[in-house]
Homo-oligomer: A and B are copies of this chain.
Amino acid sequence: MKKITIAAILGIASLSLTSNAFAQVKPEDQIKYRKAAYSFASWNMGKIKANLEGTYDAAQVKAAANAIAAVAHSGLGALYGPGTEKAIGEQKTTVKPELFQKTAEVAKLAGDFAAASDELVIAADSGSAAAVKTAHGKAGATCKACHDEFRVR
């Protein structure tokens, strides 16, 4: 039986992975980079929220939406390789070990995040704050869905 890794599943959900790119990144750096990716996305989600609650700057919202979509389509699956289920030295992780087992569910969640980020880009490009508000809410829900299931609280 062919073993399907979580990296492959997440890769399929967003981007194909070349084995070279996968092999290049040490496990501790995989944890570092995946945390960086989500943190960068989080900052951009927060910027959009601030724009919706304050002065709406269409250019800033477009850039932030592009940033979130870039994260969602960056092939994050490559950062969940073997050995990254728990902390490595100073690189802590809040991932639950179940993420590495429940591949179908993770693929669904990753796909939902990617699709929601694409909708957010379309909404941002439209210049409609109302459309962005809806899309931002949907994108945030896809973040939360994965956190609720696979992040240690």
Contact = CB atoms under 8 A, between A and B. Distances in A.
Interface in A51-70: 51, 53-55, 57, 59-60, 63-64, 66-67, 69-70
Given A18-B51, A18-B57, A57-B18, A36 B40 contact: yes
Contact of A21 (B21, B47, B70): B47
Given A24-B46, A36-B40, A40-B33, A63 B73 contact: yes
Interface residues of A, number: 41
Contacts of A60: 15-18, 21, 75
The quantity of this chain's copies bound in the complex is 2
A66 B118 CA distance: 13
B54 A20 contact: yes
B16 A53 contact: no
22 contacts: A16-B57, A16-B59, A17-B60, A18-B50, A20-B54, A21-B46, A21-B47, A21-B57, A24-B47, A25-B43, A29-B43, A33-B40, A36-B36, A36-B40, A36-B43, A37-B40, A40-B40, A40-B71, A47-B75, A63-B74, A64-B74, A66-B70
